[in-house]
Structure 1
Amino acid sequence: MRKLICLLFTLLISSLLYSQELPNISISENFNNTSLSKVIRILKNKYDVKIAYDDALVTGITINGSYNDKSITAFLDEILPSKGIDYQVLNGKIILTPGQVDIDLKTPSLFDLTVFGIVLDAQTGEMLPNALIRVAGENKGTISNKDGIFSLSQVPTDTSTLEVTYLGYKKSTVKLDPNKSKKTIRISMAENTVDLSEFTVVDLRTDNTIQYGEEISQISIDPNSLTSLPSLGELDIFRSLQLLPGISGTDETSSALSIRNSPSSQNLVLLDGFTIYRLDHFFGVFSAINPDAVRDIQVYKGGFGPKYGGRISGVVDITGKSGNFNKPEYSFGINLLSARMSVNAPLNEGKGAIHFSTRRAYTDIIRSSLFKKLYKNYREGSNQLNDQASGNSLRPNFHFYDFNLKSTYNISSRDIASFSMYWGRDELDTDFDQITNSGNTFMTENTEENAQWGNLGVGAIWSRNWNKNYYSSFQLAYSGHNFDYLFHSEDRDENGQITRDYSANRLNEVADLQINYKNELKLKERHNIDFGLNLSSITAINDVTIDGQVQLPMEDRKQSGSILAFYASDEFRVTKKLRLNVGFRHNTTGLTNKNYFGRRLGMSYQLTPSLKLKLSNGQYYQLARQVLYDDPRSNLQDGWNLACNTLFGALSSEHLIGGFNYSKNGFMIDMEYYRKDVSGLVELTVSHVVNPGMPNDTQPLVAESAGEDKIRGVDVLIQKKIGPYHGWLSYTHSKSSSIYSQINGGQRLPSRLDQRNEAKFVHVLEFKKFNVSATFLYGSGKPFFKPELNFIRDNSGTVVNYEILNLNKTVERLPTYHRLDISAALKFENEEVRGEFGISIFNVYNHRNIQSRRLNINAIERAIDNGEEPTQLYRDIVLLDFTPSIFLNLFF
């Protein structure tokens, strides 16, 4: 009797609290495929209803129907139960909870089975590549492929539990059902976003921003987690990658990727399977890839598998967004240099989706102070402009634009077709007159500079999942790159006579048509076999002209040929802890009439659940490469060339990598030792020598030098995530040296990218309504190579001319580099839109960082013209000083 009285009293109190705490309101709304998260925002903002929930609970759920004069309880009782959601009332707040599910504990009927499935974004329906699927409590696992498809073998029983993780998403746990064990499992994952509502309940994230993959030196990056980092106005994918160990980051005006002391041209950069040949906009200020178009990024710093070929250093494999299969989404962003927008929408009732994004710099319309500073920085890196022509007086007509288009369609449950396209272009036009006073003589200087460069990439893929053990894809792709540059400068005296005339032309084009056939095959539960073919028909055009003199032989100005590659690899799980990966890539080409066989060997051993050991060795070849063009007098950029039998052979490298990874409770430490030996390097070194018998006349002299690099180093990454904080420390200690046949008599010298120590600290605090971040970068001095100068004098000892003997170099070290960047963003949201407004500041304490030094051509020639002894022989190329920037991003 006493228990009954207590129960009745409890029910009475609960009923009174329930009726008193909830507002007495009437809800009248029409919902047409409206997301539940938006419905909740309407209740909170329009009807002042306080609701707490886990965002993963409501992600992917939509509401339909008309509701007139419904009380809040009647409304919730009508929309929630069918969605598997219950609610409770506490202190005037409605708390959404998962609905009760009847658990059917069944006895397993199948053992050591293969589970087949697909991993999807719960909000958009996009397939998620490179998701990690594991059996709970065991080390065995697999990775979803480009279409989000996975096949996990040796699952103990058909009642086992699978754990699925993907960077930027909450872990998904799936309990297998014996009645459905033979069917395709669809796993939906919710983004790990922070809801901006005051009353939203969110889980503390345990995943890291950076994750090391199954292969050695493979790093997975969450693009969304990088948005809070300091930037020059917008998220830059490549600049964010520079914060990783082993990727040089001590040059804020370069979006190129120097991976483990190798130049950017030795890295393979793929977007949806086609190659991106040039990686920057605005002479390195922005990267070529719009972050709005990126779904997934995989970085291989070395030791990559045989499915990747054609480069000898690293790989950046980017998967573009497919679009939204459920409902349209839009975004818009603007900063001090450019604006961008994107659209994601479903096709044919969700059977397909389309993504479109574009951005454009408006620097040809509005020249902000940030643009002037960046352009001045580029200009000072050139020896082709008189140093009296400051960035304030120069008013260049410059802009860039790009767009991405991708469409994906599910033809059937087994077949997926996709089409992807990228086009980017930069255009620069400068025509400038300036009057200068040289002694008592007035001179008119005219400078003309025109440049157009860009990329075009197109790819069409058909992929088919034949069964649980066999998947294949066929791609037809085209990659194009062009760089067309003209520089002309002349001086005229008071009578209009030309006293100095200098011109430089550079044309570089690449056209690469490829067919890719890739296969994934599982055999006998332990073998994962990758094999395929790659056929490339490639053409390169090169023209280099200085003062009307062609710098390359006629037969080497246009090159073309084909490359056929076959690859295969076997990932063999020897035991539960030991995994071996053995493979090869064989190339045959008419460019050199040679065959190139590169082996791949890899091993990983899971010593404990938290500690993994890894080892890798590989041999790599590169047939399309850039040749360094070293001319102290000009600013001509390196161009793409093809290997041949006469001038440039193939590049080759040997990788050896070993290390370990320890990861537990949001803490991770990864360390890798690497050694890389590179051969087949070529440098075109330009000297300027005086013509015999004509002391006032010089001519360029080009020398071809063959070379090799020897690179050794250690990468360390320490990462921690706790509550709203995540950050990491990356450190690289390395040594890189080079030998070139004709430079300093073949003496071994530090390589151009030799930087002994580099450290990067990254800190991010992310709250519901704002985030703040800070990055600090430190790098020891890089080498600077001073050519030998020989001053020509007349009989009286006066300097009348000079020679630049560029094959004789003196090596000096530049000063230490360091800078602090900070960023803060305010988040906001209402029923229709969410967004963020923020500010970034580069080089907060205004440290003077020197990128390089250049021969001070103008000062030397001016001194000689005035009969003086040249003293200011070199000038510093200084990087950005204190540089603020603001940005606004909106999402609809």
Structure 2
Amino acid sequence: MRKIIYLLLFLFANSLLYSQALPDISINETFKQTSLSKVIRILKNKYDVKIAYDDALVTGITIDGQFTNKSLSAFLDEILPSKGINYQVLNGKIILTPGQINIDLQTPSLFDLTVFGMIQDAQTGEMLPNALIRVAGENRGTISNKDGFFSLSQVPTDTSTIEVTYLGYKKNTVKLDPNKSKQTLRISMAENTVDLAEFTVVDLRSDNTIQYGEETSQISIDPNSLSSLPSLGELDIFRSLQLLPGISGTDETSSELSIRNSPSSQNLVLLDGFTIYRLDHFFGVFSAINPDAVRDIQVYKGGFGSKYGGRISGVVDITGKSGNFNKPEYSFGINLLSARMSINAPLNQGKGAIHFSTRRAYTDVIRSSLFKKLYKNYRENSNQVDDQGNDNSLRPNFHFYDVNLKTTYNVSKRDIASFSLYWGRDELYTDFDQITGSGTSMITENTDEIAEWGNLGIGGIWSRNWSKNYYSSFQVAYSGHNFDYLFESEERNENSQVTNTYSATRLNDVSDFQINYKNELKYKERHQLDFGLNVSTITTINDVTIDEQIQLPLGEREQSGGIFALYASDELRINKKTRLNAGFRYTATNLTDKNYFGRRLGLTYQLTPSIKLKFSNGQYYQLARQVLYDDPRSNLQDGWNLACNTAFGALNSEHLIGGVNYSKNGFMVDMEYYQKNVSGLVEFTVSHMLDQSTPNDTQPLVTESVGEEKIRGLDVLIQKKIGPYHGWLSYTRSKSSSIYPQINDGQSIPSRLDQRNEAKFVHVLEFQKFNVSATFLYGSGRPFFKPELNFIRDNGGTVINYEILNLNKTVERLPTYHRLDISAALKFENEDVRGDFGISILNAYNHKNIQNRRLNVSAIERAINNGEEPSELYRDIVLLDFTPSIFLNLYF
């Protein structure tokens, strides 16, 4: 009876709506396979017609035909009914509605069944990984795999309603049809775009920008939804991740993805299955991954499952864009440092697709004021160049570029083949003269600095859906990284005689060839089995030389070995509220004389429809790691090394995590307590001791320090969306301490990344024609380690030399960090192009933030040479001050 009343009310409302007249307009247009959404834009912009519609209703529909002097009503009557669309008129606006009302009165014929299907982008045809699929009204569900396929078991009946959500897309619901219950579902998702029309339907819009996944500490984030946040001109993948709780955002570099007080090198970063070893461009200013190439990001802050291995802290799993299977589309963007473009196009009439994107900095051609500021910050972060010289003498030749290419082809209904390529490179060359003093005390310093670094990733995947319960993929991949650095400095007096020289070289290469075989198997409705293997051959080359006299003891210059890993896990749905995931990862290698067995355990319990409890525990090992060089006189970067029996073994970490998630009506609160115990840490600590045979000289003394670390913390996220506003507050309270028997006599000291408090406020207001945003970051001071300085004096008490005793450290805290960034962008659109133009301002109130302090080697030695008492022992490494940037993005 209630359905009949609703139907009568709907028909009555229709009669009122249809009684209103359409505007007297003549349409003169020719359309050839033109998308209905573009036709609507033409009506709006060219004919000033006001139309309201849901994107999902018009997505994928094209219009053909030549229309001459057609009235608006005749035009709409001709193009819409055949597409299953009706229209109504209300207050001068045309409202598009579905063509008919289907009231399903069928009774179910099947019960407790498994539904199999695929999730894809409605506009491009791309498969969507990690979409959440569940029965409407229930909290339990499943997620789509890397190729967008899913298998949802224990569906009550063949008339149930399936609900699909995916970050950045409108929620979609599909009612099962008993006549088609055994067919594969193909569910299309429409993007959450803000229409520039005067009226926009947003009922199905997702409430949250950040979504927690099925596993503990798993976060899904839609990078496109963060494109309006302040930046240096373009969306930055890793800077966006730094706004999440538990990921540090107070060092202002994209290269440092510090997850829960652990260094970036302890995180596994994957792009389409191959490893990215270096995460930055331009010394950390930009991340290595072009945002135009990214489809999906999954972040695991700890407690990750057995399918991931080789790292002990976190995982960032990035899926690249496949391209557009339906029609070509293009984009272009430019800012004060770089330009980028992308192409997405179909192959072989939509059976495949290709994505191509590239970026290049033009800083070797145009040295903007922003570039000069960023380069000065990098230069001041170095201990190898005196920062008191004339900045105008620095004329660096620097640029970076990267290329992403991905092709995907549907070989059959069951088979998908894809190929991915990533290539990124930075090149720096600096040659300058610096003059200090005058007359007989004039010193000329000539400096040469050459640096080249980059990543190469290549991968091919063949995946197959054998049945609705079994899926497998086979991948062959290569990951490469190289860093080649040369620094030479020569000082001459007023007579052009060489008085001092300094040189440093650093070479680090990684070659990683891998084969991955992965399987997903549904077993007896309640079991989801994941199992597979990884075989890799990895080689590293290391060479560090200072003043052509010392090569840091890194073991062998070249290391290589094989790693074999076997993993398996079972996701058991104990009941409708409880999910248990238990597994293991076994690793065998010829690098060490040990093999490694790591357990995995995860448990979630749906206490109420809004409250989920979660727990995880795991043991993790890492064979390829970066070793820290702690030398107060230089800033040589860390390099990748392999575990071995002679120098150092594998890193080992134990994770224990417990938390609770509350989510209702677009409001979410998530809290997680975590513990990490890490062992096998290695530092090469460099002291500079007086040479007794030549008292005027000092010699480096390198000590290998092996230690352990304890990390404890609490992550909190509060998120809400209200109308055009969405934002969140993230807060982390943590403490990490380390013990090295050789440092400070084995006493417990704060870890280098220890930061007790960090808070981040993110606010975005998104309107039809513009958006504004602001982020505020606060962080308590990190530790600063002062080595012991021993000044050598002559009989008259004058300082003639000094020693650096780096194994004895005094721990101090740096000042509190805080920064406000703001951004505003104007949106525009016509029938051919859409885009945005805007400005971002970093550090809007120009607060002086100190990243670190360094021993002021140049000032100390200058004072000693002049017979003065050294006073400026340390200098601050200051981060960005007030920094504006503008940007332009176009989409065709």
Residue 327 of structure 1 deviates from its aligned partner by: 0.4
* Residue type at the aligned position of 1:707: G
CA contact 1:670–1:716 (8 Å) conserved in 2:
yes
Q: Which residue of 2 aligns with 1:261?
A: 261
Hey, what's the Cα distance between the residues in 2 that align with 1:621 and 1:340?
Answer: 38
Hey, what's the Cα distance between the residues in 1 that align with 2:200 and 2:669?
Answer: 33
CA contact 1:619–1:652 (8 Å) conserved in 2:
yes
Hey, what's the Cα distance between the residues in 1 that align with 2:367 and 2:41?
Answer: 40
Structure 2 counterpart SS, 1:594: coil
Q: Deviations over 1:84-120 (max 9, x none)?
A: 1100122322211111144342221111111000000
Identity %: 83
* Residue type at the aligned position of 2:615: L
Structure 1 counterpart SS, 2:648: coil
Structure-to-structure mapping, 1:114-513, within 5 angstroms: 114-203=114-203, 205-437=205-437, 440-513=440-513
Structure 2 counterpart SS, 1:268: strand
CA contact 1:506–1:544 (8 Å) conserved in 2:
yes
Structure 2 counterpart SS, 1:695: coil
Hey, what's the Cα distance between the residues in 2 that align with 1:509 and 1:167?
Answer: 37
Structure 2 counterpart SS, 1:694: coil
Residue 591 of structure 1 deviates from its aligned partner by: 0.3
* Residue type at the aligned position of 1:784: F
Q: Which residue of 2 aligns with 1:4?
A: none
Hey, what's the Cα distance between the residues in 2 that align with 1:99 and 1:297?
Answer: 37
In the alignment of these two chains, the number of paired residues is: 881
Give unmatched runs, 5+ long, in structure 1. Answer: 1-8
CA contact 2:439–2:494 (8 Å) conserved in 1:
no
Hey, what's the Cα distance between the residues in 2 that align with 1:817 and 1:272?
Answer: 35
Structure 1 counterpart SS, 2:697: strand
Hey, what's the Cα distance between the residues in 2 that align with 1:255 and 1:733?
Answer: 23
CA contact 1:471–1:519 (8 Å) conserved in 2:
yes
The alpha-carbon distance between structure 1 residues 13 and 217, as it changes in their structure 2 partners (threshold 3 A), is: closer
CA contact 1:115–1:153 (8 Å) conserved in 2:
yes
Hey, what's the Cα distance between the residues in 1 that align with 2:625 and 2:95?
Answer: 60
Residue 11 of structure 1 deviates from its aligned partner by: 12
Q: Deviations over 1:838-881 (max 9, x none)?
A: 11111111111100000001110110110001000000011111
Q: Which moved more, 1:566-575 or 1:102-111?
A: 102-111
The alpha-carbon distance between structure 1 residues 390 and 35, as it changes in their structure 2 partners (threshold 3 A), is: farther
Structure-to-structure mapping, 1:614-625, within 5 angstroms: 614-625=614-625
The answer to whether the aligner puts 1:833 opposite 2:818 as a matched pair is no
Q: Which residue of 2 aligns with 1:559?
A: 559
Structure-to-structure mapping, 1:57-136, within 5 angstroms: 57-136=57-136
* Residue type at the aligned position of 1:409: Y
Hey, what's the Cα distance between the residues in 1 that align with 2:764 and 2:199?
Answer: 23
Residue 354 of structure 1 deviates from its aligned partner by: 0.4
CA contact 2:223–2:240 (8 Å) conserved in 1:
no
Residue 15 of structure 1 deviates from its aligned partner by: 7.8
Hey, what's the Cα distance between the residues in 1 that align with 2:752 and 2:375?
Answer: 24
The alpha-carbon distance between structure 1 residues 677 and 833, as it changes in their structure 2 partners (threshold 3 A), is: same
Hey, what's the Cα distance between the residues in 1 that align with 2:132 and 2:204?
Answer: 20
CA contact 2:552–2:702 (8 Å) conserved in 1:
no
Structure 2 counterpart SS, 1:44: helix
The alpha-carbon distance between structure 1 residues 517 and 97, as it changes in their structure 2 partners (threshold 3 A), is: same
Hey, what's the Cα distance between the residues in 1 that align with 2:581 and 2:14?
Answer: 64
* Residue type at the aligned position of 2:618: G
The alpha-carbon distance between structure 1 residues 11 and 317, as it changes in their structure 2 partners (threshold 3 A), is: closer
Q: Which moved more, 1:109-118 or 1:545-554?
A: 545-554
Give unmatched runs, 5+ long, in structure 2. Answer: 1-11
Q: Which residue of 2 aligns with 1:882?
A: 882
Q: Which residue of 1 aligns with 2:671?
A: 671
Residue 554 of structure 1 deviates from its aligned partner by: 8.1
Hey, what's the Cα distance between the residues in 2 that align with 1:537 and 1:762?
Answer: 43
Hey, what's the Cα distance between the residues in 2 that align with 1:189 and 1:72?
Answer: 30
Q: Which moved more, 1:708-717 or 1:542-551?
A: 542-551
Q: Deviations over 1:775-828 (max 9, x none)?
A: 011000000000111111122221111111111110000000001111111000
Residue 255 of structure 1 deviates from its aligned partner by: 3.5
CA contact 1:228–1:773 (8 Å) conserved in 2:
yes
Residue 553 of structure 1 deviates from its aligned partner by: 4.6
* Residue type at the aligned position of 1:465: N
Q: Deviations over 1:156-195 (max 9, x none)?
A: 1111000000001110000001111111100001001111
Q: Which residue of 2 aligns with 1:5?
A: none
Hey, what's the Cα distance between the residues in 2 that align with 1:539 and 1:29?
Answer: 62
* Residue type at the aligned position of 2:690: V
CA contact 1:783–1:814 (8 Å) conserved in 2:
yes
Structure 2 counterpart SS, 1:556: coil
Residue 688 of structure 1 deviates from its aligned partner by: 1.1
Hey, what's the Cα distance between the residues in 2 that align with 1:840 and 1:610?
Answer: 37
Structure 1 counterpart SS, 2:74: helix
Q: Which residue of 1 aligns with 2:3?
A: none
Q: Which residue of 1 aligns with 2:599?
A: 599
Q: Which moved more, 1:30-39 or 1:669-678?
A: 30-39
The alpha-carbon distance between structure 1 residues 10 and 474, as it changes in their structure 2 partners (threshold 3 A), is: closer
CA contact 1:678–1:710 (8 Å) conserved in 2:
yes
Residue 552 of structure 1 deviates from its aligned partner by: 3.6
Residue 22 of structure 1 deviates from its aligned partner by: 1.5
Hey, what's the Cα distance between the residues in 2 that align with 1:438 and 1:570?
Answer: 75
Q: Which residue of 1 aligns with 2:8?
A: none
Q: Which residue of 2 aligns with 1:55?
A: 55
Residue 326 of structure 1 deviates from its aligned partner by: 0.5
Q: Deviations over 1:9-60 (max 9, x none)?
A: 9999988742xx41231x2322222111110111122222222222222122
Hey, what's the Cα distance between the residues in 1 that align with 2:25 and 2:275?
Answer: 61
Residue 395 of structure 1 deviates from its aligned partner by: 1.4
Q: Which residue of 1 aligns with 2:25?
A: 24
CA contact 2:18–2:88 (8 Å) conserved in 1:
no
The answer to whether the aligner puts 1:734 opposite 2:737 as a matched pair is no
* Residue type at the aligned position of 1:388: Q
The alpha-carbon distance between structure 1 residues 794 and 344, as it changes in their structure 2 partners (threshold 3 A), is: same
Q: Which residue of 2 aligns with 1:771?
A: 771
TM-score by length of 1: 0.97
Structure 1 counterpart SS, 2:42: helix
CA contact 1:206–1:722 (8 Å) conserved in 2:
no
Q: Deviations over 1:180-218 (max 9, x none)?
A: 111110000100111112244433734200000000000
Q: Which residue of 1 aligns with 2:37?
A: 37
Q: Which moved more, 1:422-431 or 1:42-51?
A: 42-51
CA contact 2:171–2:205 (8 Å) conserved in 1:
no
* Residue type at the aligned position of 1:103: I
Residue 396 of structure 1 deviates from its aligned partner by: 0.5
* Residue type at the aligned position of 2:230: P
Hey, what's the Cα distance between the residues in 2 that align with 1:252 and 1:60?
Answer: 42
Q: Which residue of 2 aligns with 1:613?
A: 613
Q: Which residue of 2 aligns with 1:526?
A: 526
Q: Which residue of 2 aligns with 1:537?
A: 537
Residue 693 of structure 1 deviates from its aligned partner by: 3.1
Q: Deviations over 1:651-691 (max 9, x none)?
A: 00000000100000000000000000000000001111111
Hey, what's the Cα distance between the residues in 2 that align with 1:294 and 1:68?
Answer: 43
Hey, what's the Cα distance between the residues in 2 that align with 1:15 and 1:143?
Answer: 43
* Residue type at the aligned position of 1:699: Q
* Residue type at the aligned position of 1:278: R
Q: Deviations over 1:690-731 (max 9, x none)?
A: 110312111211110001110000000000011111100000
Q: Which residue of 1 aligns with 2:4?
A: none
CA contact 2:51–2:199 (8 Å) conserved in 1:
yes
Structure 2 counterpart SS, 1:372: helix
Hey, what's the Cα distance between the residues in 1 that align with 2:847 and 2:511?
Answer: 42
Hey, what's the Cα distance between the residues in 1 that align with 2:242 and 2:88?
Answer: 48
Hey, what's the Cα distance between the residues in 2 that align with 1:505 and 1:701?
Answer: 18
Hey, what's the Cα distance between the residues in 2 that align with 1:294 and 1:824?
Answer: 23
Residue 438 of structure 1 deviates from its aligned partner by: 6.1
- Alpha-carbon RMSD: 1.5
Hey, what's the Cα distance between the residues in 2 that align with 1:819 and 1:681?
Answer: 32
Hey, what's the Cα distance between the residues in 2 that align with 1:443 and 1:182?
Answer: 84
Hey, what's the Cα distance between the residues in 1 that align with 2:697 and 2:661?
Answer: 61
